[in-house]
Amino acid sequence: MKLSRMIDQLKLKRITGDLEIDISQIEIDSRKIEPGGMFICITGFQQDGHQYAEEAIRNGAAAIMAERFIPGVPPEVSLVIVPDTRRALPIIANAFYDNPSCGLRLIGITGTNGKTTTAHMVEHLLNASGRNAGSVGTLSMTYKDIQEEAVNTTPDPLRLQKFLRTIANAGAEYAVVEVSSHGLDMGRVLGCGFQTAAFTNLAHDHLDYHHHMDEYRGSKELLFSRLGNSVDDMQKTAVLNGDDAASAYYAKRTAAQVVTYGLGEDCHLRGIQVERAEQGTRFTIQTYTGDQYPVVLKVPGLHNVYNALAAAAICSCEGLSWDEITRGLQSFTGISGRFEDVSTGQDFNITIDYAHNPEGLKAALLTARECTSGKIICVMGCRGERDRLKRPVMAGIAADLADGVVFTSDNVYSEQIEDIFLDMRQGLSEQHLSKSEFVANRQDAILQAIHSANAGDRILITGRGHEKFLYTSDGLQQMSDADIVQSHMVRV
Ligand SMILES: CC(=O)N[C@H]1[C@@H](OP(=O)(O)OP(=O)(O)OC[C@H]2O[C@@H](n3ccc(=O)[nH]c3=O)[C@H](O)[C@@H]2O)O[C@H](CO)[C@@H](O)[C@@H]1O[C@H](C)C(=O)N[C@@H](C)C(=O)N[C@H](CCC(=O)O)C(=O)O
Ligand SMILES: Nc1ncnc2c1ncn2[C@@H]1O[C@H](COP(=O)(O)OP(=O)(O)OP(=O)(O)O)[C@@H](O)[C@H]1O
């Protein structure tokens, strides 16, 4: 594509060099630049991409986009200077991949918890009813047999727009995209035209990045404030959790039509008669006209009733019939690492769960209590280099709701586990400490919990869910919680 066409939509720019050169690739990593590509220098959180312009040129870059003049750029390499390359990136990516959102219906899901589960429920409902849907999120980017590894929950605009183009060309009609607050704040989805945007909940997390809950709430607002701003956008819908206080805030800030879901009486789509079923949860969806649709959900926990209601509301807005919605919900069997049973046939259960913030941990422990006749032994840790404030809160929740807790390491990154333990101890009373143990090595912690289990008990291993790597202070180690269990337990 001609450079001139790619940068056409950028308002503020200064250019030196030829505007009519063909650009064969856009890239933000100098190591991946191929001859004829354009390297975009990002001022990162760890490094300044501008220092890699020289390497990109050595690798054959035909153009450089930067935030400031870069000395030594040869005349045959075009230099485009913009005020903020991170903000320019989605516009460029959208142009380069020929506006993939135009050929797809995009559904965006944000919230502290439940994005992945809800997104996969929606994808499942759409595919089960014969629509062609792909998804983008924490687990991967997937459409039929196309699968790409996820680096972030919401990928950078290059990966995102490229994937959307690939699946649009492969016949996808829908893409269900998990939209993280980081993604919104960094403009990763600026090139996406969402038809429907949904909100699950707002709870304590990511205060290392957002500093304050108001700021965190404000970043998610961007998904809704950009919906329905023109006459053409009247069909757009904001699907909001009516039982979460933040929804009123988002409802005020969107021009799209608002549909609420939840258990509360005022919700447009209500979950009523919620009760535990043998394998999951039985409940009835009541629409605003009073129609009722019973559902038996195979995934347990009240939080999953909320996720199912969100998915039902989204799919109803997308035109699925109630028959398609209830059948799809009933055939949904869950996703990797979310309250996943990894038991090996012993007389106690072992479950892994991705809960890594206070609300998620509470949801996982309450669900465990619902499904367990014996004691609950929770294995948990808190991540290094992330929101320190949640450490004592999570430790307190674990010790309040479980019968025993083995505190251990999660991804500690460059921190020392003893420092993380110190933070967690702040949330523990004497009574809590009497049922707690601290075992730094995660594998030892899991095995210790297993050895302490009796018939009917459940070991709930939280924090890492589907993740296959553990980031220790010594580097990356291949280790999944499920593998630890499977490799040490004899299947009976
Ligand atoms: C803090 C943060 O979000 N950082 C994200 C950001 O990295 P960055 O731009 O700061 O990158 P950097 O490492 O400083 O490098 C700057 C630039 O130099 C370039 N570079 C670097 C080295 C080199 O040799 N050559 C080169 O060109 C890099 O490619 C980059 O363009 O942009 C990268 C590309 O888009 C992201 O992968 C990266 O996410 C990191 C891995 C991350 O951990 N992010 C978390 C906080 C995050 O975004 N999480 C949310 C979900 C949270 C949740 O809901 O649980 C998510 O959406 O994933
Ligand atoms: N609606 C919900 N409300 C509260 N907790 C939830 C909800 N849905 C899921 N959880 C809890 O959060 C954990 C993570 O769920 P899920 O992966 O669906 O959320 P997420 O928002 O995608 O998380 P992340 O952004 O961190 O990847 C689950 O394992 C469960 O313990």
Locate 233 and state its tokens: 């956008």
The pLDDT of residue 229 is 61
> What is the best residue among 208, 354, 357 to mutate for testing ligand 2's pocket, by most ligand atoms within 8 Å of CB?
354
The pLDDT of residue 482 is 95
Locate 7 and state its tokens: 């940068």
Planar angle of CA 352, 184, 259, nearest 5 degrees = 80
Question: pLDDT exceeding 70 applies to what percent of the chain?
Answer: 98
Rounded Cα gap, residues 199 and 71, in angstroms: 46
Distance (Å) from CA 300 to ligand 2 centroid: 13
Domain ranges of the chain: 3-85, 100-331, 340-490
Locate 339 and state its tokens: 């309250």
> What secondary structure letter does DSSP report for 459?
E
The pLDDT of residue 227 is 86
Distance (Å) from CA 279 to ligand 1 centroid: 40
The pLDDT of residue 302 is 97
Rounded Cα gap, residues 263 and 400, in angstroms: 25
Question: Does the pLDDT value for residue 477 go beyond 80?
Answer: yes
Distance (Å) from CA 5 to ligand 2 centroid: 41
Regarding the beta carbon of 120 and ligand 2, being less than 6 Å apart is answered no
The pLDDT of residue 80 is 96
Lowest mean pLDDT among 176-180, 222-226, 265-269: 222-226
Rounded Cα gap, residues 468 and 484, in angstroms: 11
> What secondary structure letter does DSSP report for 331?
T
Candidates 3.90.190.20, 3.40.50.12280, 1.10.730.10, 1.10.3720.10; CATH matching 340-490 = 3.90.190.20
The alpha-helical segments, DSSP class H, found in 254-352 are 302-317, 322-330
Rounded Cα gap, residues 128 and 321, in angstroms: 12
Fold of 100-331: UDP-N-acetylmuramoyl-L-alanine:D-glutamate ligase (3.40.1190)
Lowest mean pLDDT among 62-71, 133-142, 207-216, 395-404: 207-216
Rounded Cα gap, residues 435 and 400, in angstroms: 10
pTM: 0.96
Count Cα neighbours of 414 within 13 Å in the Cβ-side half-sphere: 1
- pLDDT, averaged across the chain: 95
**Coil, strand or helix: which one is 232?**
helix
Is ipTM over 0.95? yes
> Which residues contribute to the annotated binding site?
30, 111-117, 152-154, 180, 188
**Coil, strand or helix: which one is 190?**
coil
**Structure confidence at residue 491 as a pLDDT band (50, 70, 90):** low
> What secondary structure letter does DSSP report for 144?
T
What's at 204, amino acid-wise?
H
Provide CB contacts within 8 A for 487, sequence distance 6+: none
Question: pLDDT exceeding 90 applies to what percent of the chain?
Answer: 90
- Closest approach atom of ligand 2 to CA 354: 29
> What is the best residue among 38, 39, 42, 115 to mutate for testing ligand 1's pocket, by most ligand atoms within 8 Å of CB?
42
Rounded Cα gap, residues 381 and 409, in angstroms: 5
If you take atom 16 of ligand 1, which residue's CA is the nearest one?
44
Taking a C-beta distance cutoff of 8 angstroms, is the pair 190, 90 a contact?
yes
For residue 357, the ligand closest to its alpha carbon is: 2
**Coil, strand or helix: which one is 124?**
helix
Question: Does the pLDDT value for residue 232 go beyond 70?
Answer: no
Regarding the beta carbon of 281 and ligand 2, being less than 6 Å apart is answered no
Q: Which residues are paired to 270 by β-bridges?
A: 262, 286
Read off the pLDDT of each residue in 377-398 and give the average, rounded to a whole number.
96
pLDDT: which is higher, 232 or 406: 406
Lowest mean pLDDT among 105-119, 202-216, 372-386: 202-216
Fold matches, 3-85 and 340-490 = no
Read off the pLDDT of each residue in 118-128 and give the average, rounded to a whole number.
98
Closest CA to 449 of 440, 435, 459, 434: 459
What is the architecture of the domain spanning 3-85? 3-Layer(aba) Sandwich (3.40)
Regarding the beta carbon of 181 and ligand 2, being less than 6 Å apart is answered no
pLDDT in tens, 302-347: 999 999 999 999 999 999 999 999 999 999 999 999 999 999 888 9
The pLDDT of residue 204 is 87
For residue 85, the ligand closest to its alpha carbon is: 1
Read off the pLDDT of each residue in 4-19 and give the average, rounded to a whole number.
89
Taking a C-beta distance cutoff of 8 angstroms, is the pair 391, 419 a contact?
no
Distance (Å) from CA 49 to ligand 2 centroid: 33
If you take atom 12 of ligand 2, which residue's CA is the nearest one?
360
The pLDDT of residue 205 is 85
**Structure confidence at residue 279 as a pLDDT band (50, 70, 90):** confident
If you take atom 9 of ligand 1, which residue's CA is the nearest one?
44
